Structure formats: structure tokens, C-alpha cells
Structure 1
Amino acid sequence: MQSIRRFSLQRVALPALVAGLLASALPAHAEEAPGDERWVSDSLSTYVRSGPTDGHRLVGTLKSGQKVKLITTQGNYSQVRGESGDTVWIASSDLQQVPGQAERLPQLSEQVTQLSEQLKTIDDSWKTRVQGMQETLDSRKALIDELEARSKALNGELSDAQSELRATQAKLGDENKQVLMRYLVYGGGIAGAGLLVGLILPALSRGRKRNDRWF
């Protein structure tokens, strides 16, 4: 195993060897499902042993965050297989069920990149929507201003038309009065002429009758 540095201990206590042999002779009881992936804790660089007890000899170390395959657990130790295929025993407390920082960092970086892109997309979308709403508001404001200007112009024209109508009505009233006066004068003239004719004709008739008597 490339990531395991093998070394040997010069002195091993006899009780520790006996305990190790007894422990290895006992059947292994898997407390967790074999085949699960585990990672060496990021907070340390741990030693690994040849067996599931502290009495077994140290056979190397595993790098922090290194991925291993869980084979079985016994007591406080777990048997794992590294990438090279070698199996060693490591304290179960030195294993974790999530990838190490070195492995999670690219994933986190990718997630950050994706989230940044999503945020940028959302930001661009909102900017586009806000710009569209602003343009709509501007166009509506321009339309309102135009309608107000047209309304003001129409009110001015209406006021002028009303003034002109009043002037025309006043002028028409004056003309009607003048026409009425003309009719009255004309009628009076005709009546006066008729009266004169009525007075003159009888007088002429009487004068002719008198003249006829002399002859």
C-alpha cells in the first residue's frame, strides 16, 4: 500500500502479544455494513495496526482525508482496505462518514460556482424585469403626459369655442333686434302710407264732385 509506511517495532510486550492473539482468535462481529466507504479524519494523521487492539503492532499511517473501504468492525477498531488493496486496522473514532476536506473542496468549489451562476442568472433576470417595468412605467408616464397635454389643449379649444359661441349669440341677438326694428319701421311706414292714402283719396273724391257741379 503506497499510502502506508511500514515499519516494525523492536520491542513488543508479551502480554500485549497474548492479548492480540486472543483477540484475533475471536470471531469478528461487524457492527456496520461491510463495503461502506469511510474517510480518515481530517484532524489527524493516524497510525494503523495489524489487528483490532492496541496490542497489535503498528504497521504504518494513513493520510488525513484518505478514502478507505470498511471491511468489518471489532471492538473499538475497524478493518479497512486502502486503494492499494492492503487491509489494516484503524481506531473507529478516527474514521468519519463524510469525505475529507481535500475531497470536498472541489465539490464545494463547484457548488459555489453553480450557486454564483444561479445568483447571476437571477440577478440578470431581475434586472431585465426591473428594466422592463421601468420602461413600461416610462411609456405609461409619457402617454399620461401626452393625454394631459391633449386634454389641456382641448379644454383651451372648448373655452375658445364657448367664448366665440357667446359672441355669436350676442351678435345674433343684436341682428335680430335690428331686423325687428326694420320690420317695425317698414310696417309703420306702410301703415302710415295707407293711412295717408285713406285720407287723401276721400278728399280728392269730394273735390271732384264739387268741381262737377259748376259745369
Structure 2
Amino acid sequence: MMQRSKKVTLGVLLGALALPALAQQEGGDDASRWVSDDLTTYVRSGPTDGYRIVGSLTAGEPVEVLDTEGDYTEVRSESGDEVWVPSDQLQDTPSARVQLPALESRVEELSAELSGINDTWEGRINALSETLAVREQRIAELESRNQKLSSEAEQSRDTIRNLQARLETQEEDLLMRYFMYGGGVAGAGLLVGLIVPHLPRRRRKRDRWF
């Protein structure tokens, strides 16, 4: 409702701005005048206040200027009567009564245009909103996948660390076994070296010839 009110207000303002151009188009003939928006304009039979009043003209009624003398202007009304009317009670632009239908029509046109523009922008905004929602969903999916991959990578790193620790332990055990085996061989050799010299030697029998 508020948007509609704003549109109508803007239309009225634009219509008011277009009023001078409209008035110039309708008032292009220099002989055309309109009775001012006063309720009643009395007319006389001559160009001074001394002439008798012969009738009146309706506010906003268009007239044709025939002559001007002093403060009065001779005009021809729509009914064809030629009378004199005070010049200050004539105006160069159509009256509000004449302009109102044109302004109302202009307001409706501008309101329709604004409504179309509003619908177009709403459509664009909705499209952008949908695109943004899709992108946000895609970003959320990528973030979830990234977190999953990060978790898997961390698990892989833990597994590698455990395997490296086991490998280092096995290498230490193997090295210890090598040391023990080498020490055992060296000890056995040393023991043999100590025992062999103390073993009794067999004496050779000498062959004698008698």
C-alpha cells in the first residue's frame, strides 16, 4: 500500500512537471484564453465598468479573444456571444477543470510505467536471490567437503606417525639383535682362543731302529 502511494505521489509530481508543456500545446493559439478559476465572471456589453452586465461566464470556460481595450478584453464564448470581460480574469493556460482529466490520465500512465519497472526490478532481485542461494549452498557443500578431507588427512598423518614409530622400534630391536649376535660370536671366539692353548698336546712316537 505504501509503495502504491509513493508511485501515485511520484506520478502527480511528474504530471505537475509536465503541466507547462501540456499547457503550451493546448494554448498554442494566441487568441485562445480561459476564464480564471473564480466561481463566476460577470461580462459587460462594453470595455468599461460603466457598461451594463449582460451575463456571466463559467469558471474554466474557453473563449476566443477578439479585442483588448483598457482593462477589458472582448471575447467570444462557446455559445457565440461576444462580450467584454476584465482582462485580469482571463488566463493563458487551461483551467484546473480542463487540465484535471489529462493529469489524471498522465498519473495513470506513469503509475503503470512505475509498476512495470517495479515488477522488473523485483524479478531481477528474485533471480539474484536465487543465484545467491545456490552459491551459498555450493559454498556450504565445499566447506563440508573440505572439513571431511581435512579430517581424513589428519587421520592419515596419525597413521603415518604410528607406522614410523613402529618402524623405528623395529629398527632398534633389529640393531640390538645384531649387537647381541655379534657380541655372542665375539665372546665365543675369545673363549675358544683362551681354551685352545691349554688343551694337552699329543706326543708323537719316535720310530727307533735296532
- TM-score w.r.t. the length of structure 1 is 0.67
1:99 corresponds to which of 85, 90, 94: 94
Secondary structure at the aligned position of 1:54 is classed as coil
Aligned equivalent of 1:153: 148
- C-alpha separation between the residues in 1 aligned to 2:40 and 2:116? 42
Aligned equivalent of 1:10: none
State the Cα distance separating 1:85 from its structure 2 match.
5.5
Alignment of 1:1-215 (within 5 A): 35-83=30-78, 86-195=81-190, 198=193, 207=201, 210-213=202-205
Question: Does the CA-based 8 Å contact 1:39-1:97 persist in structure 2?
Answer: yes
| Percent of aligned positions that are identical | 47
Tell me how many residue pairs correspond in the alignment: 179
| Runs of 4+ with >6 A deviation | 200-204
Paired letter, 1:53: T
C-alpha deviations, 1:39-85, integer Å up to 9, x for none?
A: 11233232323321233344443332111222332222112233465
State the Cα distance separating 1:160 from its structure 2 match.
0.9
C-alpha deviations, 1:99-133, integer Å up to 9, x for none?
A: 12331121111121122123213322432343244
- TM-score w.r.t. the length of structure 2 is 0.68
Secondary structure at the aligned position of 1:69 is classed as strand
> Alpha carbon RMSD of aligned pairs, Å?
3.0
Larger radius of gyration: 1
5+ residue gaps in structure 1?
1-33
Secondary structure at the aligned position of 1:73 is classed as strand
- C-alpha separation between the residues in 2 aligned to 1:212 and 1:118? 139
- C-alpha separation between the residues in 2 aligned to 1:72 and 1:185? 141
Secondary structure at the aligned position of 1:42 is classed as coil
